[in-house]
């Protein structure tokens, strides 16, 4: 099948378009956004040279399910999903900070810890921990949101001191972040998974905070299988993960961490197929449903037609 690697749509009422690392975001009149989840994949803030079949559909549909499942905690930007790769929703003024929350000493937190540091984003991590251990309580480790290049760690104190987010809003974001993570943890547990860490993005419209973008997808979150977790920890074995971390690990094993002068290793057909299957596996395990792939000879034309049809009926 052909992957949806990029879109260049012209939509009714369109006022702007932004091509991100993974998503193409079209701004329309009446404060509407059309977000197209492409099949592009990024790691270390670099877009890799090949798209992953069905990845965009997995991300969009999984995010939609979790937005619906958490709407009682915080209002979110979603209005409709007229295509497997598309969500239409409210345009919000985005807070320029990603709310990262970590339940376990994994990934970036572990790399920081292993280097000897014990403070991450102003949060002190306990002594005597090993990789993949559970924190006594989830920790929030925010990151500044970059349009290009690397996101940067930032502490709560720096956010408030620099007035990046007013304190009243920031305290609200922290509260939402903890409640969303708790809900995500409960849903994952029902499916035999552990939600290890994730990130949330928020915006504001008419003075009201909205949850925006995707949540609890393999691009924004990390999952472990709960069965055998403690046994693997006790034996010092690697945890069985269901996330995009294995892509980062494959890149690191092949000498790439997004640094200047480094070359992205060749993405073979076999590797691309493996990544696709891992994304689909996560969707099916997390949702408990069978993934139905939407294959198209011309996915961009399909996306465009479905958006235009929806807008003709609803807008």
Alpha-carbon gap, residue 90 to 170, rounded angstroms = 21
pLDDT value, residue 141: 98
Predicted model pTM: 0.90
Residue-range domain boundaries for the chain: 14-93+270-314, 95-243
Contact 221, 59 (CB under 8 A): no
Q: Which CATH superfamily is domain 14-93+270-314 in?
A: Phosphorylase Kinase; domain 1 (3.30.200.20)
The residue that leads in pLDDT, 155 or 245, is 155
pLDDT at 83 over 90: yes
Contact 44, 256 (CB under 8 A): yes
Torsion angle defined by CA atoms of residues 168, 171, 172 and 173, in that order, rounded to the nearest 10 degrees: 120
Alpha-carbon gap, residue 299 to 60, rounded angstroms = 15
Q: Under DSSP, is residue 189 helix (H, G, I), strand (E, B) or coil? A: helix
pLDDT value, residue 124: 97
pLDDT at 149 over 60: no
SS (H, E, C) 166-187: CHHHHHHHHHHHHHHHHHHHHH
What's domain 95-243's architecture? 2-Layer Sandwich (3.30)
In tens, the pLDDT along 231-285 reads 999 999 999 988 787 898 899 999 999 888 999 999 999 999 999 998 998 899 9
In tens, the pLDDT along 180-230 reads 999 999 999 999 999 999 999 999 999 999 999 999 988 889 999 999 999
Same fold for the domain at 14-93+270-314 and the one at 95-243? no
Q: Under DSSP, is residue 103 helix (H, G, I), strand (E, B) or coil? A: strand
With CA atoms as reference, report the closest residue to 109 among 154, 136, 139. 139
Q: What angle do CA 177, 183, 188 make, to 5 degrees?
A: 120
With CA atoms as reference, report the closest residue to 25 among 54, 70, 60. 60
Burial class (CB in 10 A: 0-12, 13-18, 19+), 292: exposed
pLDDT at 146 over 90: no
Backbone angles phi, psi at 4, to 5 degrees: -90, 85
- What is the overall mean pLDDT for the chain? 94
| Range of lowest pLDDT (1-10, 76-85, 100-109, 238-247) | 238-247
SS (H, E, C) 60-90: HHHHHHHHHHCCCCCCECEEEEEECCEEEEE
Q: Where are the alpha helices (DSSP H) in the chain?
A: 55-69, 108-114, 156-161, 167-190, 229-235, 245-253, 269-287, 299-314
Show the tokens assigned to 179: 């409640």
Alpha-carbon gap, residue 20 to 148, rounded angstroms = 8
In tens, the pLDDT along 97-121 reads 999 999 999 999 999 999 999 999 9
Q: Which residues are paired to 86 by β-bridges?
A: 36, 83
pLDDT at 23 over 60: yes
pLDDT value, residue 99: 98
pLDDT at 295 over 90: no
pLDDT value, residue 50: 95
Average pLDDT over residues 32-44: 95
């Amino acid at each position: 099948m052909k992957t949806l690697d990029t879109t260049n749509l012209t939509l009714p009422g369109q006022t702007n378009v932004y091509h991100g690392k993974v998503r193409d975001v079209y701004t329309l009149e009446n404060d509407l956004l059309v977000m197209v989840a492409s099949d592009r994949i990024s790691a270390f803030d670099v877009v890799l040279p090949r798209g992953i079949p069905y990845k965009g559909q997995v991300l969009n549909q999984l995010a939609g399910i979790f937005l619906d499942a958490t709407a009682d905690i915080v209002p979110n930007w979603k209005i409709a999903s007229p295509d497997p790769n598309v969500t239409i929703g409210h345009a919000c003024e985005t807070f320029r900070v990603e709310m990262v929350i970590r339940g376990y000493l994994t990934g970036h937190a572990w790399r920081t810890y292993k280097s000897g540091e014990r403070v991450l984003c102003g949060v002190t991590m306990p002594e005597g921990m090993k990789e993949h251990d559970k924190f006594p309580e989830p920790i929030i480790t925010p990151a500044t949101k970059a349009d290009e290049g690397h996101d940067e760690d930032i502490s709560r104190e720096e956010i408030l001191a620099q007035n990046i987010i007013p304190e009243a809003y920031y305290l609200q974001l922290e509260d939402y972040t903890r409640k969303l993570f708790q809900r995500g943890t409960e849903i994952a547990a029902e499916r035999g998974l552990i939600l290890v860490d994730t990130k949330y993005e928020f915006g504001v419209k008419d003075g009201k905070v909205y949850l925006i973008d995707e949540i609890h997808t393999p691009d924004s979150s990390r999952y472990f299988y709960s069965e055998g977790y403690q046994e693997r920890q006790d034996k010092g074995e690697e945890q069985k993960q269901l996330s995009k971390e294995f892509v980062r690990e494959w890149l690191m094993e092949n000498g790439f961490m997004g640094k200047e002068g480094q070359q992205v290793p060749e993405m073979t057909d076999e590797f691309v197929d493996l990544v696709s299957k891992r994304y689909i596996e996560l969707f099916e395990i997390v949702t408990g449903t069978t993934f139905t792939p939407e294959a198209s000879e011309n996915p961009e034309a399909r996306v465009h037609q479905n958006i235009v049809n929806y807008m003709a009926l609803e807008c």
